[in-house]
Structure 1
């Protein structure tokens, strides 16, 4: 299992457009990928799950990845949260 922490850099947080992009990205991997904010943990397989967390800019989140391709998934999450999310 791989766990990574990120600070949301996009001022708008994770709204519909990045949530959709994140779900599409997660579906490329066999590993189970979940997002934790505070005491809530959700599976990243549904845009509604992501939007329900109301993640805003500056929030600290954790991504939990468990499965056979977790290293590749972790690398893709790094790129998404550090490079793509601030531009969506």
Structure 2
């Protein structure tokens, strides 16, 4: 298991489009990918779970990857979030 704490920096937070980009990207990995936010855990491969989390700009989140390709998944998750999810 690997994890990393990040700050969501895109201005609109995890709304529909960036949440879709993130869930689609994480869906190609076989490992479990979880977003920890405000004491809760959300499946990062589920668009609805990400949107339900209501993660706003400036929020501290933790990405946790557990499985065979966990390092690759965490690297891509980090890159996506640090780049503002394309916004």
TM over 0.5: yes
Normalised-by-shorter TM-score class:
over 0.9
The equivalent of 2:16 in structure 1 is 16
Q: Extract unaligned runs of 5+ from structure 1.
A: none
The equivalent of 2:65 in structure 1 is 65
1-side partners of 2:23 and 2:10: how far apart?
Answer: 17
Which is richer in helix?
1
Matched pairs, number? 87
2-side partners of 1:23 and 1:10: how far apart?
Answer: 16
Report Cα offsets for 1:6-59 as digits up to 9, x if no partner. 101112101000011111101110110000101110111211110111100010
Runs of 4+ in 1 over 6 A off after TM superposition: none
Please, what TM-score do these two structures have when normalized by structure 2? 0.94
Q: Extract unaligned runs of 5+ from structure 2.
A: none
2-side partners of 1:48 and 1:41: how far apart?
Answer: 13
2-side partners of 1:44 and 1:78: how far apart?
Answer: 13
Root-mean-square deviation (Å):
1.0
The equivalent of 1:76 in structure 2 is 76
